């Protein structure tokens, strides 16, 4: 049986500068699933905001979100399209 791919958006809020490199490395590890990425440095509030669009099996997206969520100083939320 073929594993179905899902389209998802992962939102990442980085509140600690030391968390930037681990986040970038984790995203690099999943680069083959990433459709696009946008980063916004909100310097006035000392927060970095990253949105990542993925096309991957649901378990891969959940694993990535979980790995990111374990990094100190960040908040992560995932959203999936209803389309499969």
Whether pLDDT at 63 is above 80: yes
Residue, of 59 and 2, whose pLDDT is higher: 59
- 78 and 7 Cβ atoms separated by less than 8 Å: no
Task: Determine the structural domain holding residue 52 and report its residue range.
Answer: 5-80
Q: What is the CATH number of the domain that holds 43?
A: 3.30.70.1150
Question: What is the number of domains present in the chain?
Answer: 1
- 77 and 49 Cβ atoms separated by less than 8 Å: no
* Token pair belonging to 48: 């970095």
In this prediction the pTM is 0.91
Q: What pLDDT, on the 0 to 100 scale, is given for residue 82?
A: 82
């Amino acid at each position: 049986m073929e594993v179905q791919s899902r389209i998802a958006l992962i939102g990442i809020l980085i509140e600690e500068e030391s968390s930037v490199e681990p986040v970038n490395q984790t995203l690099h590890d999943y680069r083959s699933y990433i459709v696009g990425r946008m980063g916004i440095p909100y310097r006035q509030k000392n927060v970095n905001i990253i949105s990542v669009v993925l096309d991957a099996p649901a378990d891969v997206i959940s694993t990535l979100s979980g790995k990111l969520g374990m990094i100190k100083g960040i908040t992560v939320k995932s959203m999936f399209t209803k389309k499969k």
